[in-house]
Structure 1
């Protein structure tokens, strides 16, 4: 009888369990928390109540692993937002045009996604979950991992043997030390930290917007020499909005009500502040800090047989890029594909670890290439001058902002439906080098392309006028 052991019962771990379930007799998931029995937050999930986006590439991987997942999400109120048609975006290089293109993301709460995935995954009787249990070590040696040592809530310790062990314990994983304890070299870790911080609040949407409203993304400006400031508004299930405020080192958003609204009004356009003036806040403002980009280069280790690091255990990017859930799904899909083709054969660990590293390479380069320009960045990497890269990235986005073909290619990569190399065709490079053929959109022109906001903004204007009269 073959057994797989998955360390961590979050999204990465559950999807890894699904990938393994048809290729081993038993899959045991070890989870430190108690898993909710409904779409509710999980205590140990970092940023669990902040904004989350599932990119198209990740959504497609989810449906391959668990058919019907996205249909269930939509039935529960999740929103399918096309990047070009349903999101009003102000990038660091200007407002984006609105046009028809099908690159999309799914917007809903993280706890809804986790709940739907658990519902579908745990129908498989071969998957067992052991909750309230902490992993304290791996067992085996430098050539093969053979299981894990765990501690139950009451303090009892035991060893669980397995033919394959997946570390899905996330960004705070202790697997580098566990492997070192088995005699492996210390895994190299790279990081770049722009001091990004989030403050997020939920709102009940006004009645006229309860059926959904386009999302708003006002992105931090990376090349201004000042801290980056941003804001967003994303429709959620049950007629709610999630509003994240974003700031880099020296400009982190506050968590008090007055400061939250003042920050929202002080970013490069006050649209988000105007919209939430029409909505009712729900609950407290929640902050998230320590959101650096980090990757552990397991693929450069002599990876032991029977071990794999997946999801945030391998690479965690600033949530500003919204790729974490999607990379977890794509990594699990790679594991399933390798198992389907070759089974639990020697070399599986190295092959899948290499796949996971390659999947994260493009998003990693995007994050590092953008975040490195914020002031006060901390990193352990040699970044170089980057003068041409800085110019090219700025030129690309200025041109894409008013060129639908170039922007469509950018969206394909951002939603993980295409690789970065797909943008390097001769026609696209020629378009970038030629530069934008017309001036950037003004704020008024960008807003005019989204008349869905008109009714709410008119109400805000009327309220402000009334206050001036009574004042």
Structure 2
């Protein structure tokens, strides 16, 4: 029989509980500063010190980028984070200037005018910097400078309260002991494994509608030592074409910290990459363009090939629930778990945390519809990324969540033509990256100037090959110095 302990709210201030100590959870804790005098983060794992692997983040070994829309949200919560990332070895890569992108419609130009940017580094480093910002010092679990305490090896197993209002959480520690933790606000940031739909059902709230779109994507990633003397190199991506009727195979090469290149190959159902390191380069060479295989040929690998299959798109429509309890909010992957190939999950989590902060500042916890307002704001950001991801994934052979309807097909044809136009039009490139950077909704693609430019087509002829600089071309053909 487990021991049940009541953990009452301190009289001196508001207590908030965040379920999950990953990136979304840390950003949610940052959003609560100034509102809650005590912030408890419930985390089933042990958080690492510094940029080290975390058991609850098995996908950390794959390419991650944080788009500028997400960076700005992080900065609004934790000013100075970008400087800390860069000081720790991350790079700020301007888009499209330092991006070699082979889209489904051909090579995109590297316009001299930047539109947006991404932060590029290993996921462990990115998380560690945010964790240190929230918890202080090296990010070790404990009490942070603003009253943030991490309860490690502790799992949320239920909510306290009723269908009208959540009043806390029930947690279970590794030794089996259970505790009731009373709180004025509970935020679920527990990611894909979130149990919120079941917790809410136990209170008589909900129901929560859910949609799954699964292309069967598998990731295979490996680190390589970058060629000597190459201080800066662009982000390289070779995209799949979702409309060929064949499995979609793609890859990205991301320059990361410590003089290394991280390469992630991916394939949808029927075209998956394998863990065998002997098959890694041949898989890359079989893509729509072999540039990434050419770039890594002869480079020294660092470690083995990492595989991940947790790539389903899962959308939970909390904002549409018939009954929603006050003082409960869900953010990050727990709302919209996205296929990582599009690089939007972290940005959506950051924007969701910023939305929580915004409502705390404008209406406060005392507003009787506070939680509902926050959930709708979070849904707005999640929907933009969801549309971008599922609008492609639904077309791959064997995809779960289809078949695509007539509207899906019409939008897909429009996006294809827009990509073709973007290869020769800075205007369309700018508007398209406004959306992919998550700094504008998809409606930006339908404004009259963009529709007209897309209808007229590219103003410049398509590129016959990758837009490389002289230094990059020398490296590609073997002229660069290898380690």
**What's the TM-score, normalizing by structure 2?**
0.92
- Cα pair distance change 1:134/1:125, threshold 3 Å: same
User: 1:198-228, CA deviations, whole angstroms, 9 ceiling, x for partnerless residues?
Assistant: 101111112122x221111001111111111
SS of 1:304's partner is coil
RMSD value over aligned CA atoms? 1.7
Unaligned runs of 5+ in 2: 1-12, 137-144
Contact 2:64/2:120 (CA < 8 Å) preserved in 1?
A: yes
- Cα pair distance change 1:385/1:101, threshold 3 Å: closer
Judge which range, 350-359 or 365-374, deviates more.
365-374
- The 5 A counterparts of 1:288-437 are 288-301=308-321, 302-345=323-366, 346-379=368-401, 383-384=405-406, 386-437=408-459
Distance 1:358 1:452 in 2: 43
- The 5 A counterparts of 1:31-430 are 31-99=43-111, 100-123=113-136, 124-209=145-230, 211-301=231-321, 302-345=323-366, 346-379=368-401, 383-384=405-406, 386-430=408-452
- Cα pair distance change 1:460/1:224, threshold 3 Å: farther
- Cα pair distance change 1:398/1:385, threshold 3 Å: same
Contact 2:475/2:481 (CA < 8 Å) preserved in 1?
A: no
User: 1:403-450, CA deviations, whole angstroms, 9 ceiling, x for partnerless residues?
Assistant: 12101111121111222222322121111112234442112xx24x43
Contact 1:192/1:381 (CA < 8 Å) preserved in 2?
A: no
SS of 1:238's partner is coil
Deviation at 1:460, TM superposition (A): 6.8
Judge which range, 66-75 or 278-287, deviates more.
278-287
Partner of 2:41: 29
Distance 2:16 2:406 in 1: 43
- Cα pair distance change 1:260/1:185, threshold 3 Å: same
Deviation at 1:71, TM superposition (A): 0.3
User: 1:337-362, CA deviations, whole angstroms, 9 ceiling, x for partnerless residues?
Assistant: 11111221221110100000011112
Contact 1:274/1:460 (CA < 8 Å) preserved in 2?
A: no
Distance 1:382 1:270 in 2: 30
Distance 2:99 2:332 in 1: 27
Deviation at 1:381, TM superposition (A): 7.9
Contact 2:33/2:146 (CA < 8 Å) preserved in 1?
A: no
User: 1:49-89, CA deviations, whole angstroms, 9 ceiling, x for partnerless residues?
Assistant: 11100000111111111111000101111111112111100
User: 1:134-170, CA deviations, whole angstroms, 9 ceiling, x for partnerless residues?
Assistant: 1111111111111111111111111111110001110
Question: Does residue 20 of structure 2 align to residue 8 of structure 1?
Answer: yes
Contact 2:384/2:438 (CA < 8 Å) preserved in 1?
A: no
Deviation at 1:7, TM superposition (A): 0.4
Unaligned runs of 5+ in 1: 464-471
- Cα pair distance change 1:460/1:255, threshold 3 Å: farther
Distance 1:18 1:73 in 2: 17
Distance 1:460 1:376 in 2: 42
Distance 2:460 2:29 in 1: 51
Contact 2:29/2:39 (CA < 8 Å) preserved in 1?
A: yes
**What's the TM-score, normalizing by structure 1?**
0.94
Partner of 2:141: none
Question: Does residue 462 of structure 2 align to residue 440 of structure 1?
Answer: yes
Deviation at 1:454, TM superposition (A): 2.1
- Cα pair distance change 1:348/1:264, threshold 3 Å: same
Judge which range, 434-443 or 86-95, deviates more.
434-443
Deviation at 1:271, TM superposition (A): 1.1
- Cα pair distance change 1:349/1:461, threshold 3 Å: closer
Contact 1:54/1:326 (CA < 8 Å) preserved in 2?
A: yes
- Cα pair distance change 1:401/1:48, threshold 3 Å: same
SS of 2:61's partner is coil
Deviation at 1:185, TM superposition (A): 3.1
SS of 1:171's partner is helix
Contact 1:278/1:460 (CA < 8 Å) preserved in 2?
A: no
Structure in which a larger fraction of residues adopt helix = 1
Distance 2:99 2:325 in 1: 44
Q: Aligned pairs, how many? A: 459
SS of 1:242's partner is strand
Partner of 1:467: none
Partner of 2:474: 455
SS of 2:324's partner is coil
Distance 1:350 1:88 in 2: 42
